[in-house]
Amino acid sequence: MSIGRQAGMLYIVPTPVGNLEDMTFRAIKVLQDADLILAEDTRTSSVLLKHYDIHGRLESHHKFNEHKTAAIIKERILSGLNVALISDAGTPGISDPGFLLVRTCVEEGIEVQTLPGATAFVPALVSSGFPCDRFCFEGFLPVKKGRQTHLQGLAAEHRTMIFYESPYRLVKTLTQFSEVFGPERQCSVSREISKKFEEHRRGTLSELVEWFTAHEPKGEIVIVLSGAPEVKPAKKSYREEHGLD
C-alpha cells in the first residue's frame, strides 16, 4: 500500500535494563517529540519518563492487549501520529511485546525505525568470555510443555547459547542444563545487568547449581552457556588418503 505524506512513523525505542543513565540522547528526543508513547507497564515507564522530563501521552501496550491494539495503533499512525514503543527494559520485541505491532506496520507500508540501544543479553554475552562471533539467542524457555524437547534439540549446538530466566527457576533450569549438556559444561550467569549489584558468576554447570542453591539468586537473570565442543574428524593416514588400504 502507498502511504501518503501525512502518515506518521513507528519508533522502537530501547530503554535502560538497569541504570537510567544508559538512555541515548536520540532516544530521549524521540520520546519527547512522539505524539504517543506505548509502554508495556505505564507505571514502570512513568519513572523513566519523569526522570527525563518527558510528558507525552502514554498508553499501555503489552502481551495481553497487543492483538487488540495493533490494528488500532496502525490506523492512528496512518492518520499522522508518530508513535514510540517502549518496554519495561531493553529493546521491545526481544522477549518483550513489539513484534506484532512492527509486523502490522510493515505489512501496511508504514516506516518503522528501531533505535540502537540497551538489551540485557549483549553485555552478558561479552562478559561471559565465551565466543561471541557465533551465538544463538533462545530467550525464555517454555515453562512446561515442550521444554525438555527444546533442550534436547540444543544438546549438539556448537554456538554459544543465551537464555533469559526468572531467579525463582534458575536452580531448576541449571540442574536441567546439567542433565542435558553435562555437569562439566561451562556457563556464565549474569544478574542485575547495569544495576548497583551487577554480578557475573562463571563456572561449570555443577558448580553454579551448588552456588545458587546456597545463595538465593535475585534480579533479572541471563544465562550464557558455552556450545558443545566441535569434534574434528580424525586425520587420515597416508595409505587411507591414497586408497592403499
| Interval 68-93: pLDDT, tens | 899 999 999 999 999 999 999 999 99
SS3 category, 138: strand
Look at residues 18, 11, 15 and name the one whose alpha carbon lies nearest to residue 37.
11
C-alpha cell belonging to residue 226: 558455552
Does position 54 have pLDDT exceeding 90, yes or no? yes
If you write DSSP's letter for every residue of 171-192 in order, what string do you get?
Answer: HHHHHHHHHHH-TT-EEEEEES
Looking at the predicted structure, is the pLDDT value of residue 116 above 80?
yes
Phi, psi of 25 (to 5 degrees): -60, -40
Q: How confident is the model over 10-28, as pLDDT tens digits?
A: 999 999 999 999 999 999 9
Answer yes or no: are the C-beta atoms of 190 and 126 closer than 8 Å: no
Look at residue 3 in the predicted model and tell me its pLDDT. 45
State yes or no: pLDDT of 139 exceeds 50.
yes
CATH T-level fold of 121-225: 3.30.950
- Per-residue confidence (pLDDT) for residue 2, from 0 to 100: 44
In the structure, what pLDDT confidence band is assigned to residue 51 with cuts at 50, 70 and 90?
A: very high
Confidence of residue 145 (pLDDT cuts 50, 70, 90): confident
Domain limits of the chain?
Answer: 10-114, 121-225
Q: Which residue has the higher pLDDT, 99 or 233?
A: 99
Q: pTM for this structure?
A: 0.86
CATH of domain 10-114: 3.40.1010.10
State the DSSP H helix or E strand holding residue 23, giving kind and residue range, or none if neither: none
